[in-house]
Amino acid sequence: MSQGFEIQVFNRREKKMDIEKVYGDGAVKFAYGNPIGRLLGSFIASKMLSRLYGQTQDSAKSGQKVAPFIKNFHIPIEQYQKGSIKENPIETSYRSFNEFFIRKFQEGQRTFTTKPQEMGAFAEARYFAHASMTDELNIPVKGSMLCAVDLIADAELAKDFIGGPLMIARLCPVDYHRYHYPDDGKTLKSFTVPGDLHSVNPLALKFRQDIFIKNERRVSILETEHFGKLAYIEVGATCVGKIVQTFDESKPFQKGDEKGYFLFGGSTVVLCGEKGKWLPSQDILDNTKQGIETYIQLGDVVAQALASEDR
């Protein structure tokens, strides 16, 4: 992140630096940078406020916001499937803002890397990555926030991930909000960790450094074919009405299968790995060292499995 509140993101596909246009940046600055806003912090981060706001995004009236939102944020809507009002143009085909928010891509718009040793991007998002989780990590924020024990909230389960690689995929309100499995495998365990619903925007992280371990989150421990065990963590955020699991976790999954989606709000997926099993892509690691996120399309390569001699 650069000076002030400007958020720089490197777009890998377009090979250029973008300045992120933040939806609701004024509200985030007030909530986390203003003394009065900070006094209201517990209310702003409360589930009650987020649930109520989330419900308003289910109303028919909220559907009127979709077309201006698409125009204002230059969303390539032609890449997506229509909403439930099929007879309307796509911009007005969504019955509510939430229906638009969880829109699906058109068939063939995104594909996952087919090479077994390459991990596919599990979300279309802005990525930070680290080769090893340690208490010395200070990007994007300091200290134990990135400690496996704190993220997973189960000391026994977390043992497998201490010192392992870490990726943080941040989704903005303008993004595709479904998340997917990065490899073939099965779910060993899944559970919800209760918590608050703070914003996960970098503007908020600048002021509040413990958001990922304070926010409500859902943890899945996955056994994958090519990357060992993974801790797949979906982090709730301000105005996220719900984290929805769409995949039957009693069944094996394949690379690219949809795992679930977030309803309205900015959201984050954190992926923790075992030490020596895989390494995040070098461009993400290099950008992370400079405090710059890397924007990556769903299914593109985000990590490589390590051969046994490299571990």
What strand order describes the sheet that includes 118-120?
A: 118-120, 301-305, 278-280
178, 125 Cβ separation under 8 angstroms: no
This prediction has a pTM of 0.82
Q: Which of 161, 171, 175, 266 is nearest to 219 (CA)?
A: 161
Mean pLDDT of 242-258: 95
Which range of 24-28, 225-229, 242-246 scores highest in mean pLDDT? It is: 225-229
pLDDT tens, residue by residue, 145-179: 456 677 788 889 988 998 899 999 988 888 999 99
* Residue 14 pLDDT > 80: yes
Tokens of 2: 């650069």
At residue 148, the pLDDT reads: 65
The pLDDT-based confidence of 22 (bands split at 50, 70, 90) is low
Residues 173, 65: Cα–Cα separation, whole Å: 13
Mean pLDDT of 282-296: 94
Of 38-52, 72-86, 204-218, which gets the smallest average pLDDT?
Answer: 38-52
pLDDT tens, residue by residue, 65-115: 999 999 998 999 999 999 999 999 999 999 999 999 999 999 999 999 999
**pLDDT, mean over the chain:** 81
End-to-end CA distance of the chain: 32
* Residue 23 pLDDT > 90: no
**Helix (H), strand (E), coil (C) string for 224-263:** ECCCEEEEEEEECCCCCCCEEECCCCCCCECCCCEEEEEC
The pLDDT-based confidence of 205 (bands split at 50, 70, 90) is very low
Q: What does the DSSP 8-state code read for residue 127?
A: E
At residue 115, the pLDDT reads: 97
141 versus 188: the higher-pLDDT residue is 188
283, 191 Cβ separation under 8 angstroms: no
At residue 210, the pLDDT reads: 44
* Residue 123 pLDDT > 60: yes
At residue 155, the pLDDT reads: 86
Q: Which of 253, 268, 162, 173 is nearest to 218 (CA)?
A: 268
At residue 138, the pLDDT reads: 45
Question: What is the longest distance spanned by two Cα atoms in the chain?
Answer: 58
Mean pLDDT of 270-284: 96
* Residue 197 pLDDT > 70: no
Which range of 4-13, 199-208, 224-233 scores highest in mean pLDDT? It is: 224-233
63, 99 Cβ separation under 8 angstroms: yes
At residue 172, the pLDDT reads: 84
